[in-house]
Amino acid sequence: MLYPLVNNFRNVLDLSGIWEFKTDPKKIGEREKWFKGFNTGTTIAVPGSWNEQLEELGLLHYVGSAWYSKKVFIPSEYESKRIILRIGSIDYNSKFWINGKFAGENKVGFLPIELEINDFVVPGKEAIIVIMVNNELSDETLPQGITSKRFRDEKRLRDETNPPTRYDFSPYGGIHRTIQLVTTPHCYIKQIKIDTKILNNRNGLVNAEIIINSKKSLVISAQIISGKKVLSQKTSLNSGKAKVKFEISNCKFWSIDNPFLYDLKIELLDEKNIIDEYKTPFGVREVVISGNKLLLNGKEIYLKGFGKHEDFSVIGKGLFLPLMVKDFELMKWINANSFRTSHYPYSEEMMFYADRKGFLVIDEVPAVSLDFRYVNGNTLKTHKEHITRLIDRDYNHPSVIMWAVGNEPNLVGDKNYYNGSAKKYWKEIFGFTKKIDSSRPITVPNCTRAGVNDPVFEFSDVLSLNRYYGWYEYPGNLDEATSILSKEMDTIFNKYKKPILFTEFGVDTMPGLHSISTQMFTEEYQQQFLEAYINLIRSKKYTIGEHVWNFADFRTPQHFRRVVLNLKGVFNRNREPKSAAFLLKRIWQNPSKNKL
Ligand code: GCB
């Protein structure tokens, strides 16, 4: 799926702003025809979660359905265009009506939705757009859901959160990213897939596949543009597809230090004229796992950074560009070079920004804490759809160096996880992902409860570990924690012989709490913990990086373990540094793994 842009053939109309809003806890909206549009006097800003924004209406922990309505003028010049309603993401489920007619449904959160709406609108007139959003989850969605009844039936009273979730972040609901009317020509460039290779230290190879929505005999003109330098090619489309190949001499490779981006411009031509055009940035780079090393453009690279979240006060999971810019500046300031989109795809804007700023990204689907006791064929189907749509969205980003096709399966520690069916499931998921993208390593972060025999290790290119010894286990005892962890790391490496990446380690830390003795929750303990882990991780020849959990404090469901927020941030929720930020900045200023 291509990101919307404005040029002579395409246009974008921003629909963000204030929408009419109404919750539907009893799910009567469809029966009462709310889809015809409504005006209740309750309003909400889009993009943004409803939770903190409308806390005063009792929505802080609201899980259920809610309706959005807005009158939108459809410009008459859209008459000759293909008109799309496009939303960067809605969490989690959504249904759409335009001028009272049902226009479509989506059950995949965190990823863009496109609906062709020509049959529903009259250019030159107003249209009423109504969207029903629902943030309830089930065994067959990603993430999987859980109810308080299930917690109680399983006699897991102390595990129950409110709202009930299988994961440790707020189940925000709402229209979370850009909402736009996008136009393209009726015959249009549908997808561009770019692969790059380094031929030698001067030349790069670019292979691009272009897909259009028609089988007509048309022609593609492709150009690689860098300043005044232009390489061009023309080729005919065959059944709506064309391939072009360029060799760039004196190529500027994309790297952390010099995230150089070329533009690929595609023009679609009939006999005489250009009928559509699309331009996208891309970088020439190569990511390879070689032995126990991660290589970027043939050079060893050690990952330093964070697991993050899309979370901020008031806006919740809503796209907020100043915060995105701030987070990248803070990551640069602290000398990080990478992050993981834990535990779901982040905004498209963030991925383009990572390309520009030279950050390496582990891109994750929301298969967080899969409980295999409730996984079924439909869960697998949903999982594949998330992977397909994520890779379709993010394939061309040079910043994306790895796919995480899950996080911490079997967090519940079920013994049957090892009886073969989970292995079959993971084999299928890894194989499926490799078929769509054979160029990037694939991983799934493993948790302590899934242990050293987690079937994901067998299929992962990189063994990703989330560990909290010294916190959830062996509390306040870093010597014991690191000694047990050291042995466990060796066991895992010796069994699977693949590089190990630490995708999570961290401790809850209350800013301003201090102690001269070892004391959990203090700023000193966070520093001691991180330093001890980093020393251990770097002492092993097979490790390729350290991602601290978490970049910043973030809101969680209610539970006695959480003081409103998960406090493992190195920055607080407002992005002010805790003491550990200065420690990491010092450790991370050296790009090499070996010298602290
Ligand atoms: C984990 C999860 C993450 C939690 C974290 C914690 O293992 O992957 O989502 O927030 O632990 O702080 O407990």
DSSP secondary structure of 444-467: --B-TTT-TT-THHHH-SSEEEE-
| Shortest-distance Cα residue to atom 5 of ligand 1 | 168
What count of other Cβ atoms lies within 10 Å of the Cβ of residue 456?
Answer: 26
**CA distances for 295 relative to 149, 255, 290, angstroms:** 48, 11, 7
**Would you say 105 and 42 are in contact if contact means Cβ atoms under 8 Å apart?**
no
**Would you say 1 and 112 are in contact if contact means Cβ atoms under 8 Å apart?**
yes
- Amino acid identity at 367: A
| C-alpha Rg value of the chain to the nearest Å | 24
CA of 364 to the centre of ligand 1 (A): 14
Residues 6 or more apart whose Cβ sits within 8 Å of residue 276: 9, 10, 184, 185, 187, 188, 189, 212, 267, 268
Q: Would you state the pLDDT for residue 595?
A: 55
What residue ranges of the chain are covered by domains with CATH 2.60.40.10? 189-282
- With the most atoms of ligand 1 within 8 angstroms of its CB, the residue from 169, 466, 547 to mutate is 466
For helices 523-539 and 579-587, what crossing angle results, to 10°? Answer: 20
Q: Would you state the pLDDT for residue 392?
A: 98
CA of 468 to the centre of ligand 1 (A): 9
| Shortest-distance Cα residue to atom 1 of ligand 1 | 466
- With the most atoms of ligand 1 within 8 angstroms of its CB, the residue from 306, 504, 529, 560 to mutate is 504
Q: Would you state the pLDDT for residue 272?
A: 87
Bridging pattern class, strands 93-98 and 17-23? unpaired
| Shortest-distance Cα residue to atom 3 of ligand 1 | 168
CA of 379 to the centre of ligand 1 (A): 22
Strands (E), 199-329: 204-212, 219-226, 229-236, 241-248, 262-269, 274-282, 287-290, 293-296, 299-300, 303-307
Tell which atom from ligand 1 comes closest to the C-alpha of 566: 12
What residue ranges of the chain are covered by domains with CATH 3.20.20.80? 335-587
| Shortest-distance Cα residue to atom 2 of ligand 1 | 168
Tell which atom from ligand 1 comes closest to the C-alpha of 568: 12
Interatomic CA distance for residues 20 and 356, integer angstroms: 36
Q: Which residue has the tokens 């996880």?
A: 417
Q: Which residue has the tokens 């404005």?
A: 6
Q: Would you state the pLDDT for residue 592?
A: 80
Tell which atom from ligand 1 comes closest to the C-alpha of 506: 12
CA of 123 to the centre of ligand 1 (A): 49
- Annotation: CATH topology of 11-135+171-184: Jelly Rolls (2.60.120)
Structure tokens at 174: 């709402």
Interatomic CA distance for residues 402 and 442, integer angstroms: 6
Structure tokens at 555: 């809101």
CATH label, 189-282, candidates 2.60.40.10, 3.40.50.720, 3.40.50.1820, 3.40.1710.10: 2.60.40.10
Q: Would you state the pLDDT for residue 566?
A: 98
Secondary structure (3-state) at 471: coil
Task: Express the helix, strand and coil content of the chain in percent, nearest 5 each.
Answer: 25, 35, 45
Structure tokens at 218: 């048309």
**Would you say 469 and 444 are in contact if contact means Cβ atoms under 8 Å apart?**
no
Q: Which residue has the tokens 């005006």?
A: 39
| Shortest-distance Cα residue to atom 9 of ligand 1 | 168
Secondary structure (3-state) at 154: coil
Interatomic CA distance for residues 2 and 374, integer angstroms: 35
Element (H, E) at 348: helix 348-357
Degrees (nearest 5) of the Cα angle 93, 441, 3? 45
Interatomic CA distance for residues 387 and 380, integer angstroms: 11
| Shortest-distance Cα residue to atom 7 of ligand 1 | 466
Q: Would you state the pLDDT for residue 596?
A: 57
CA of 238 to the centre of ligand 1 (A): 48
Structure tokens at 419: 């009886």
Give bridge partners of residue 491 from the DSSP assignment: none
Tell which atom from ligand 1 comes closest to the C-alpha of 343: 9
> Which segments in the chain show pLDDT lower than 50?
none
Tell which atom from ligand 1 comes closest to the C-alpha of 408: 8
Interatomic CA distance for residues 171 and 501, integer angstroms: 28
What residue ranges of the chain are covered by domains with CATH 2.60.120.260? 11-135+171-184
CA of 547 to the centre of ligand 1 (A): 12
CA of 453 to the centre of ligand 1 (A): 20
Residues 6 or more apart whose Cβ sits within 8 Å of residue 479: none
**Would you say 499 and 457 are in contact if contact means Cβ atoms under 8 Å apart?**
no
- Rounded to two decimals, the pTM is 0.98
Structure tokens at 168: 């440790």
List ligand 1's pocket residues with C-beta within 6 A. Answer: 167-168, 343, 407-408, 447, 466, 504, 549, 566, 568
Q: Would you state the pLDDT for residue 593?
A: 82
Catalytic residues: 408, 504
- Amino acid identity at 264: L
| Shortest-distance Cα residue to atom 13 of ligand 1 | 168
Q: Which CATH architecture has domain 335-587?
A: Alpha-Beta Barrel (3.20)
Strands (E), 391-441: 400-404
Bridging pattern class, strands 174-175 and 90-91? antiparallel
Tell which atom from ligand 1 comes closest to the C-alpha of 369: 8
CA of 152 to the centre of ligand 1 (A): 22
Bridging pattern class, strands 463-466 and 442-443? unpaired
CB half-sphere exposure, 573, CA atoms < 13 A: 19
